[in-house]
Amino acid sequence: MLNAALVIAAKDMKLMAGRGGPVLRPLLLGLLLVTLFSLSLGAGANITAETASAVFWLSSAFCLTILMTALFDLEETGKARMGLLLAPIPVQAVWLGKSLAGLGLMLLIQTVLLAASLILCNMTWAGSVPLALGGVILVDIGIVGLGALLASLTGGQTARESLCSLVVFPLLVPQLLAGIRLLAALYDAAATDAAQWLGITAAFDAIFIAAALVLFPVLFGGEN
């Protein structure tokens, strides 16, 4: 399953990079949201570490829905969904491949968003870099896995894409809260309680991954 997932992930990342638009759209949206959120706080405002972290994660959440929907639209454009279902691989390999591609692209986008939030929120790296970046990766694993599961429902249909956004955001709340506290450790050396959120994040990662492995074959192949 892993080999098939890696092939799917490599194929998706190559297609997304070649088309450009599917990656640029969430990136530009994220930059716009970071700018708007930071400006709404007021010029010269004393922005806390948690606030700057919240700006980053809220922008990332909106980028996630666009990115994961675009990844599944790759098959809808060429009617290749049936080909994936008929391929001699576990259906879960499709979810894993999409998740790996989404994780790689999400981290790339977040690198830009993090730099933008540091500048616009006037923050500095004063805390634990390994803890914060490790937390970002852990949170991303969970939200990308969940995003891949729910994006499989859209099937390139606009109405379903809107439904996906409505469903995914409430489910992301625990991970986003953990992400906010973990990333705050990057900005504030006094954020000593951030490490305990790693366990919470890992627990939700396990829940989302287990749910995806069970439900994805039903959701992805439900109409075929």
**pLDDT digit string (tens) for 35-76?**
888 777 765 567 788 888 888 998 898 888 888 888 888 777
Measure the CA–CA gap between 115 and 39, rounded to whole angstroms. Answer: 16
Contacts with 206 (C-beta within 8 Å, 6 or more apart), sequence order:
none
- Section 29-36 average pLDDT: 87
The DSSP output letter for 89 is S
Does pLDDT of 162 surpass 60? no
Domain count, the chain: 1
Say how far residue 10 (Cα) sits from the centre of its chain: 18
pLDDT at 137: 92
Task: Kindly indicate the confidence band of residue 196, based on its pLDDT and cuts at 50, 70 and 90.
Answer: confident
Measure the CA–CA gap between 117 and 99, rounded to whole angstroms. Answer: 25
Domain that holds residue 149: 1-221
Considering only residues 212 and 190, tell me which one the structure prediction assigns the higher pLDDT: 212
The mean-pLDDT minimum among 144-148, 167-171, 188-192 falls in 188-192
- The encoded tokens of residue 46 equal 């004393």
Does pLDDT of 186 surpass 50? yes
Identify whether the C-beta of residue 197 lies closer than 8 Å to the C-beta of residue 181.
Answer: yes
Identify whether the C-beta of residue 222 lies closer than 8 Å to the C-beta of residue 80.
Answer: no
Q: Which amino acid is at 32?
A: L
pLDDT at 42: 65
- The encoded tokens of residue 73 equal 């639209």
pLDDT at 138: 92
Its pTM stands at 0.85
Does pLDDT of 190 surpass 70? no
